Amino acid sequence: MRNASQSIAVHTDRIGTGLAGLLFLTCAALSGGLAWAHIASRGAICGADRIPHCGWCYSAAGFALAGLAAFALAFGPGAALQKLGLLQIKAR
């Protein structure tokens, strides 16, 4: 059975990870908007024909994946945080 300090630490980790996920998804939305503006200025979709993907496309996809991964970690089973050893500072 966990004591109160361990329970508070797990909840703090979950809240922090959830907020990080929200921040990542906000960055994905901003990057996606800039990618659409870039597409409109070029008159073509990035990655089509000989037009390479712009950095905004890559950052939007990367931030979206990071946000979803953070939400999966924050709202997943409680034991997952401890089993993976994530979000823990370990003394050497």
| pLDDT digits 0-9 by tens, 42-73 | 888 887 777 788 888 899 999 999 999 999 88
Q: What is the pLDDT of residue 54?
A: 85
- Does any domain span residue 52? yes
The domain in which residue 32 lies consists of 4-84
- Does any domain span residue 23? yes
Average pLDDT over residues 8-14: 79
Strands of the chain, DSSP E: none
- Does any domain span residue 79? yes
Cα angle 49-51-52, degrees, rounded to a multiple of 5 = 120
- Does any domain span residue 89? no
- Does any domain span residue 53? yes
Q: Give the chain's domain count.
A: 1
- Does any domain span residue 54? yes
Give the C-alpha separation, 27 to 31, whole Å.
6
Cα angle 69-27-36, degrees, rounded to a multiple of 5 = 115
Give, in order, the Cα–Cα distances in Å from 7 to each of 10, 13, 79: 5, 10, 12
The share of the chain scoring above pLDDT 90, in percent, equals 37
Q: Which residues contact 89 (CB under 8 A, 6 or more apart)?
A: none
Per DSSP, the three-state class of 88 is: coil
pTM of the model: 0.73
- Does any domain span residue 69? yes
Average pLDDT over residues 14-35: 94
Q: What is the pLDDT of residue 91?
A: 63
- Does any domain span residue 80? yes
R_g of the chain computed on alpha carbons: 18
Q: What is the pLDDT of residue 25?
A: 96
